[in-house]
Amino acid sequence: MSEATGAPNTQTLAGRICLVTGASRGIGRAIATRYAREGADLILTARTVGALEELDDEIRAINGKTSLLVPMDLRNFDTIDQLGAGLYERYGKVDVLVGNAGVLGTMTPLAHLEPKTWQEVIDVNLTANWRLIRSIDPLLRQSTAGRAIFVSSGVARDVRAYWGAYAVSKAALEMLVGIYAKEIQQSNVRANIIDPGRTRTRMRAAAYPGEDPMTLRTPEEIMEPFVRLARADYTGNGEVVKAY
Ligand code: NAP
């Protein structure tokens, strides 16, 4: 019940502390604003400070809450450890972790891929999510219903030429989350994957420059599973949930 009105509280994430990576644009930004509508308290990370500040303003207009902005490059893995320590001091727990940040790299044959591109894609899409699990798992366990959601892609399970580092990173991410899900089975934490499908973002435009973006769903249109899997009453674990 809402204390102010006595009306039933229909915000399904009311008061839940939610950490979202890659919140500056695209799918991550839509997750943040949707979670705000559901009453969440948000911790938002990305590298682009201005975009995070604009998002904070928008969220304050939605639910009156100020978000905790943590500008960071996820490739600086030690800052992920510092994030966990800082959140423990401030909140003592995290209810929802959304590992959404990702990079595409270059669409090219494996034999032509630059080592620095390979490394960036593996760092952001895979290693940073393992470092997040390592850093945030103790905080998720402090929640009565910790929920971890990681964002994958159909190419993780569909072998296609030229998707090199990106597809490899997402396939490995799905294995990572599957292992984590088995390890937390006896706890209050649940970990799942969402495959968003073709969505109108900067990354999609980079992968398919000739495509008409108006034929794609917007990030706002694919938010239902992101809310469902973040809720305390969602008990699925180790699942790959398609948003399409
Ligand atoms: P996007 O618009 O390019 O957004 C990517 C986000 O990741 C941005 O907020 C970016 O923020 C952040 N990011 C990238 N590198 C980072 C780094 N080194 N450190 C910290 N943050 C970093 O892409 P999107 O389409 O929304 O993608 C979101 C997720 O959905 C990704 O995991 C992607 O693989 C997945 N996905 C997307 C589609 C699709 O059709 N769009 C389909 C399948 C899966 P900054 O640049 O500000 O750091």
CATH at residue 226: 3.40.50.720
Q: pLDDT tens across 96-152, in order?
A: 999 999 999 999 999 999 999 999 999 999 999 999 999 999 999 999 999 999 999
The number of the ligand 1 atom at minimal distance from the alpha carbon of 123 is 18
9 found inside a domain: no
- Quote the ligand 1 centre to 102 CA distance (angstroms): 4
Q: For residue 204, what are the domain limits?
A: 17-242
Nearest Cα to 19, choosing from 70, 56, 61, 57? 70
Assign 8 a pLDDT band (cuts: 50, 70, 90): low
Distance from residue 223's CA to the centre of ligand 1 (Å): 15
Residue 12, in any domain of the structure:
no
Look up 166 and say whether it is catalytic: yes
- 120 alpha carbon, distance to own chain's centre: 18
Whether residue 138 lies inside any domain: the answer is yes
pLDDT for the residue numbered 9: 60
Find out whether the beta carbon of 26 lies less than 6 Å from any atom of ligand 1: yes
Residue 2 in domain: no
Are 183 and 176 within 8 A, CB to CB?
no
Distance 16 CA to ligand 1 centre (A): 23
What Å distances lie between residue 28 and 18, 70, 138, 188, 215, CA to CA? 12, 14, 23, 25, 20
Per-residue pLDDT band for 2 (boundaries 50, 70, 90) equals very low
What pLDDT is recorded for position 230? 98
- In a domain? residue 8: no
Question: Nearest to residue 242, comparing CAs of 193, 199, 176?
Answer: 193
What tokens were used for 95?
């209810």
Number of domains in the chain: 1
Asked, for residue 105, whether it belongs to a domain, the answer is yes
Ligand 1 close to Cβ of residue 187 (< 6 A): no
pLDDT digits (tens, 9 = 90+) for 45-98: 999 999 999 999 999 999 999 999 999 999 999 999 999 999 999 999 999 999
